[in-house]
Amino acid sequence: MEFDTLKEKITEKLRGIYDPEIPVNIYDLGLIYGIDCAKESGGATRCVVTMTLTSATCPVSESLIDQVRNVGYLIDDEPDLVVEANLVFDPPWTMEKMSEEARLQLGML
C-alpha cells in the first residue's frame, strides 16, 4: 500500500514518546489504536493517529498529544506531512493492550 512506509516512520517516532509516569513508550504501552493517512487535494499528506490515555485524568495528556502532533515535523523526507491526534476513550485502555516487550520491561512476564 502507498502509506505503509509512512506509517512505519510515524510508528518509529511514536516509539520515541514516553509516558513520564511509566518508563515505556506510548506505542508499546498500547496507547496508539491506529494510524490513517490520506492525500489532500493540495498535495499534503494528513495522518490521523487515533490514541487513548491510560486514564482520562492523565496529568500529562496535553503534553503527550502535542508530542504526537509534532511527529510530522520529525520525518524529514515528508515536508507536507500533517499529523493529527484523535483522542478516544472507547475502547478504554487496559494492560492487555501493552506489547510483550512492554510487559517484559515492566516485569509483568
pLDDT per residue over 73-108, tens digit each? 999 888 889 999 999 999 999 999 999 999 998 888
3-state secondary structure 40-96: CCCCCEEEEEEECCCCCCCCCHHHHHHHHHHHHHHCCCCCCEEEEEEECCCCCCCHH
Confidence of residue 42 (pLDDT cuts 50, 70, 90): confident
Predicted confidence (pLDDT) at residue 58 exceeds the cutoff of 90: no
pLDDT per residue over 28-41, tens digit each? 999 999 999 999 98
Q: What percent of the chain has pLDDT over 70?
A: 99
